[in-house]
Chain A
Amino acid sequence: MPTRCARLNITASEIKRGLWRLRRQNCNWGDPTPRSLQICVVDIQKTKSILLLLDPTGFPPSIATTHPRLTHVHPSTPIHTTGRLLATASFDASTAVWAQSGSTNEWECVAVVEGHENEVKSCAWSPSGSLLATCGRDKSVWIWEVQPGHDFECVAVLNGHTQDVKQVVWHPAEDALVSTSYDDSIKVWTEDEGGDDWSCAQTLTKEEGGHTSTVWCASFEPEPSFEQPGASGGTKRRRLATCSDDRTIAIWRVDDSRPLTLRLEIDAKFPCGHDRPALSVSWGRCGLIAEGGGDDSVRLFAPPLAHGGLEGGGGGGSTSGNGDSLGDGFEGRAWREVGRVESAHSESGAALNGHEDEVNCVAWHPTDPRCLATASDDGTVRIWSVHSCAST
């Protein structure tokens, strides 16, 4: 087994409450295959160790431990997951955390995290698994730190949204949180330099090219693939998709070069193709964005084919006469709808296996790039395989 080395630059300021939290950019994973590295929190006071886990694309997960002051990690070794946690956000104002017992399908509720005044709408684990974010109807976003013994300590209550917060989503590799709201805005939350507090790093409204109605959902691109026009060195950036009651999907370029000040910048905004709210988006490993809609349909969007001719700056390159309601020249970079499952009730050709009511959620499979799951008000969940059609 080849030796993989990771360089860990750990500073004393990263010790918090007996827990170490490392950031991905502090690690140089000497692996030719680009895979992101996840670092788990361990009670360093007790174990003097750091656990490194490859992300799900590298499953089965590898694990290595090292003394914190050593700079090399030894060959990774497969581990057997002894259990896993699932958080569920409920309208009963609580978020429950469930643990699996061993390899059986016995699950038990190990914690009920309470703090929100009323309906909890969304919950999400940070990429390291050390933080849990929740949001809800009370307009707030809470961040909880996982402590030993399934104890959840609130480390931040983030106020700023003026309406319901619909969803929270973590950046796939950084401790940066995105929230979407009924107040039509998207907010980015990051930890302060000292690591003691969280604050809003950015608010994206229609002024920034964003949405004009409720933002229902956000989904990060799984791997960075976007080349910034004019950028040198071929550095690839990640993007974020958001969808809205305004019947559009927006694409944002993510500048995560400085982790404490993650920035989003509008890249494209295009109609979702139907006249009902766009309720859910998921960015797949295949490069397609799936959208679930209030018209009961599931739609797949592919990136624009032409990559050349992007103007720097204003981007006024309108190549079609459509979409002028969106303005600002974004329509030149509109994504293409390449596949669709119509509603089972569609008058223009009902799909045999289409959903019979609103599609609340779309979710690409984490490793199979062709597999998509959808959940609907019709009471069903459907699993789809996606195939490209021969062009000739």
Chain B
Amino acid sequence: MLSFLGRGRGGEEPEPSSQPMETSDVSLADAERVTLRCEAVLEGHGAEEVSVARVWHCAWDPTGKTLATCSSDKTCRIWAKSAAAGNTWVTVAELEGVHSRTVRQAAWSPCGAFNRSITPTAAVSPSSQSPLFFPR
């Protein structure tokens, strides 16, 4: 089983709760019933507006460490768990000042690294290994 976010919640026991008894033995797809436990409520969109700002979309980045959300407040927010804030979700970046209307959807590029100007010889660094890059 893959751990949650690589760290944090992976090995912890479920907190005591009044929910029905839960078991991890049954795969979710075969379960007769499943429960959803609210782990976090992320609030922040529209903080500077008079009325509630709709959140239109949310998208996990490919690693699952951060979540992008976008809103009628014309911004996209990026959230991550903060160890400094007691392992709660905080806004780590607010993308604003570009869109002049609702941001309807966000999409992460599957491999952002490549899109920057990679020098393969530098990107594939360990010199102890057999050559990974063959010069022309």
Please list the residues of chain A having a beta carbon within 8 angstroms of any beta carbon in chain B.
Answer: 38, 40-42, 47-49, 51, 53, 55-57, 59-61, 63-67, 70, 74-75, 77, 79, 81-92, 94, 96, 98-100, 105-107, 109, 112, 119-125, 127-129, 132, 146, 148-150, 167, 284, 286-288, 298, 300, 302-303, 305, 338-341, 352-353, 357, 360-361, 363-391
Which listed residue, B52, B104, B107, B112, touches A378 by the CB 8 Å rule? B52
Nearest B residue to A118 by beta-carbon distance? B101
Q: Which of B31, B42, B46 meets A381, CB within 8 Å?
A: B42
Residues of A within 8 A of B78 (CB): 86, 105, 107
Q: Is the CB of B107 within 8 A of A86?
A: yes
Contact partners of A40 in chain B: CB under 8 A: 111, 114
With beta carbons under 8 angstroms apart, the residue of B21, B99, B113 that contacts A389 is B21
A302:B31 contact, CB within 8 angstroms: yes
Is the pair B42, A383 in contact by a Cβ cutoff of 8 Å? yes
In chain B between 72 and 122, which residues have their CB closer than 8 angstroms to a CB of chain A?
74, 76, 78-79, 89, 92-93, 95, 98-120
**What B residues does A65 contact at CB under 8 A?**
120, 123-124, 132-134
| Given known A-B contacts A91-B102, A105-B78, A302 and B30 have beta carbons under 8 A apart | yes
B124→A63 contact, CB < 8 A: yes
Report Cα–Cα, A42/B111, bound state, in Å.
12
Question: CB distance A373 to B67 under 8 Å?
Answer: yes
Additional A-B contact list (5), CB under 8 Å, known A38-B111, A99-B116, A100-B112: A53-B114, A302-B30, A365-B64, A386-B28, A387-B14
B40 close to chain A: CB less than 8 A:
yes
With known contacts A125-B107, A368-B5, A387-B19, A41–B57 Cβ distance under 8 A? no
With beta carbons under 8 angstroms apart, the residue of A125, A361, A378, A379 that contacts B58 is A361
> Do the beta carbons of A90 and B19 come within 8 Å of each other?
no
Query: How many Å lie between the Cα of A161 and that of B56 in the bound state?
Result: 23
Do residues A56 and B42 form an inter-chain contact, with CB atoms below 8 A? no
A377 B64 Cβ-Cβ under 8 A: no
Whether a CB of chain A sits under 8 angstroms from the CB of B50 is no
CB-based A-B contact count at 8 angstroms:
341
A56 lies within 8 A of B136 (CB): no
Q: Chain B residues with Cβ under 8 A from A146's Cβ? A: 115
Task: Please give me the residue from chain B that is nearest to A286 by CB atom.
Answer: B28
Whether A85 lies near B115 (C-beta < 8 A) is: yes
**A339-B64 in contact (CB<8A):** no
B104 to chain A, nearest CB (A): 5
Considering only CB atoms, which chain A residue lies closest to B23 in the complex? A390
Known A65-B132, A129-B114, A365-B60; contact A386-B120, beta-carbon cutoff 8 A: no
In the complex, what residue of chain B is closest to A97 when comparing beta carbons? B109
Q: How far is the CB of B124 from chain A (nearest CB, A)?
A: 6
Q: Chain B nearest CB: distance from A214 CB in Å? A: 15
* CB<8 Å pairs between A and B, sample of 9: A48-B136, A51-B120, A53-B111, A87-B109, A105-B93, A357-B52, A379-B46, A379-B55, A387-B24
When the two chains form their complex, are residues B39 and A105 in contact, meaning their CB atoms are under 8 A apart? Answer: no
Specify which chain B residues have a CB less than 8 angstroms from the CB of A361 in the assembled complex: 55-58
List of B residues within 8 angstroms of A88 by Cβ: 70, 76, 95, 99, 103, 105-107
